[in-house]
Amino acid sequence: MKLKLHTTLIASLGFMIALSGCYRERSGATGWKYNKTDNGGFEKAAFYEQQTGPGLIFVEGGTFTMGQVEDDLTNNWDNSPRRVTVSSFYMDETEVTNMFWLEYLEWLERIYGNSFPEIVERALPDTLAWREKLAYNEPMVNYYLRHPAYRDYPVVGVSWRQATDFCKWRTDRVNENILVQEGLFVHNPESQMDEEHFTTETYFNRQYVGERDAEGVTDYSPNSSGYRDIRMEDGLLLPDYRLPTEAEWEYAALGLIGNSYGELIEERRTYPWDGHYIRNDKTRDKGYGDVNANFVKGRGDYMGVAGSLDDFADITAQVRAYAPNDYGLFNMAGNVNEWVMDVYRPLSTLDSEEFRPFRGNNYQTMVKNPEGKPADKYDYVVYDIPSTIEFLGDFRNKLGSSAVTPEDDELMNSLELKFEEAQETQNKKQEEEAQTLMAEALELIVDSEALVAADLRKGMSKNIIAVPGDMKFRDVTVEENINRSNYREANNIDYLDGDFNSSIAFGQGDEGKADQNRMYDYGSSSLVNNESRVYKGGGWDDRAYWLVPGTRRFLDENQSSASIGFRCAMTRVGTPVPYGGH
């Protein structure tokens, strides 16, 4: 779907200038005229409607029963039904495809490939996710991502973190394209490299200039040069692409808008289509096959019988291979499972708010310099140092002493010392110096001939948390929220669940020690921690039970699977229904 810009901002501003001799809108609060230099220049930009971004479908929000709608076959008791409300939003018509991901990789190679190849490596899907111990899946390992026969198939082998990075990249490329279409930027890819490339955040904060096709739009401020950049207040650039929340995804998958009459839901749904069965009936297009989704029908039955294939797919299928649901969304059941934003907790459906429920909030604010302005954007790679130290320890333990060569041991010892020095430097609040030490650690790997060097490099790349060109953010502090009643802590993932106060060790003396033994003892009694992310929808290798939108599973945000993909969503701003929608 192409971006629809019904009325451009520049044309709107030009129209307003043409009317300046006969009419200017006045403030209802003060009576002063807007968009007039003599009055101080306060602007009221022409804005009519949020435009639909590329690939997106509008999903009208509402109330629904979220959670379990059939027997809890796994006895997890983690999706108890609850009435909630979801705001209107936008969602990708299809799953993100291999073609989209290859476009993403090409851009990363062009921007970072020479100076920071580890950033490109971080974005590579895990094609080895296709391998099984007693199955021949090497053709998928070698061909699935890059062969043109699969370019319209959903990308798989991507972790939650990789999917989130893709959403951010997509936001910036869409908004950059809007500015190019509006005649404000020159389309010149060769002029962007390393930290000097467009992002929405750096543009809004005046830290990206770029090659301009025009000086800007008219600025009515008395002290200006007569032109300015686009601002948030203009409404031209789109909100962020992101992963949908679990509630949004489940609501969109059910598509109950097709079963409603007034405020009544005429028929409950088990799947994203009418009825409580998986096969077509006369109301659906027979051209899509005998079943309504791509999944495993029975033991050993992934595609049906030759001459009468019932889902026309042995593994994944093309992203438009089956009929869409009533919102126009394809493959909201089957084909691949899909990541959502939420952190997994068994009782999330009971703990979360009734309005726009979500677990995973980590509130941040932009880093400011002493003048109160945004700090300079990063011009270096930022690593999660504690996680990198943890990775090296786990890697060394699993490797075992018998498999270590002298070169391997020397490299890992050197890295351990460098990581510890970086951690000590970071603890002294010397962030840039700490990241310089991490860059030196990467150079040790690059210059080494150890057999484990490639694996260590890959492990470091997976712990990158910011790249050149990103603005600097930090967690909000308790001190700056002293007078708030709605929240205090930056990280609210553990709110009412899993924190020290709810652990069995609370009140048993040594709080520091007890803090390590919380409700979710990861790796011992549970696989749940703050990096456990929800995925939903069922995949090509799942039974029909997992196609029910209310079912839920989880996986570590750094892991991936050959049956997990994702699609993006976007917040709807303003009215719940576009003007003229009702």
Domain range summary for the chain, segments of one domain joined by +: 52-80+95-182+236-360+530-582, 382-466
Q: What is the mean pLDDT of each run of 10 residues along the chain (582 residues)?
A: 46 46 74 87 86 96 88 81 94 98 97 96 97 95 97 97 98 96 89 94 93 86 87 94 97 89 78 80 54 90 86 92 93 96 89 92 93 95 96 90 85 96 96 96 95 95 96 93 88 78 60 52 74 95 93 94 98 87 58
Residue 31 exposed, middle or buried by CB count within 10 Å (0-12, 13-18, 19+): exposed
Which residue in 51, 49, 55 sits closest to 91, CA to CA?
Answer: 55
Give the tokens for residue 141: 């390992």
Which residue in 538, 537, 1, 65 sits closest to 259, CA to CA?
Answer: 65
CB < 8 Å & 24+ apart, contacts of 300-305: 302/540, 302/541
What backbone phi and psi angles, to 5 degrees, belong to 111?
-80, -45
What Cα–Cα distance (Å) separates residue 424 from each residue in 239, 394, 415, 421, 553? 38, 20, 14, 5, 38
Q: Is 355 helix (H, G, I), strand (E, B) or coil?
A: strand
Tokens 């053709």 label which residue?
139
Answer yes or no: are the C-beta atoms of 294 and 69 closer than 8 Å.
no
Record the pTM.
Answer: 0.91
Neighbours of 291 (CB within 10 A): 19
Quote the CA–CA distance of 95 and 166 in Å, as a whole number.
Answer: 13
Q: What is the pLDDT of residue 259?
A: 80
Q: What is the pLDDT of residue 21?
A: 41
Quote the CA–CA distance of 72 and 147 in Å, as a whole number.
Answer: 40
Which residue in 459, 387, 481 sits closest to 426, CA to CA?
Answer: 387
Q: What is the pLDDT of residue 507?
A: 62
Sign of CA pseudo-dihedral 379, 380, 383, 389: negative
The counts of H helices and E strands in the chain are: 13, 20
Q: What is the pLDDT of residue 146?
A: 97
Tokens 């060569």 label which residue?
405
Residue 281 exposed, middle or buried by CB count within 10 Å (0-12, 13-18, 19+): exposed
Measure CA 217 to chain center: 32
Q: What is the pLDDT of residue 189?
A: 87
DSSP state of 401: G
Q: Which residues pair with 90 in a beta bridge?
A: 58, 570
Quote the CA–CA distance of 542 and 545 in Å, as a whole number.
Answer: 8
Angle between helices 406-427 and 385-399 (to 10 degrees): 160
What Cα–Cα distance (Å) separates residue 520 from each residue in 258, 310, 526, 530? 40, 43, 6, 9
Q: What is the pLDDT of residue 140?
A: 96
Highest CATH level, class, for 52-80+95-182+236-360+530-582: alpha beta
Quote the CA–CA distance of 317 and 558 in Å, as a whole number.
Answer: 25
Q: What is the pLDDT of residue 212?
A: 85
Q: What is the pLDDT of residue 1?
A: 42
Neighbours of 242 (CB within 10 A): 19
Quote the CA–CA distance of 357 and 370 in Å, as a whole number.
Answer: 37
Quote the CA–CA distance of 34 and 42 in Å, as a whole number.
Answer: 6
| H-helix segments, 448-521 | 453-461, 511-514
Quote the CA–CA distance of 215 and 75 in Å, as a whole number.
Answer: 62
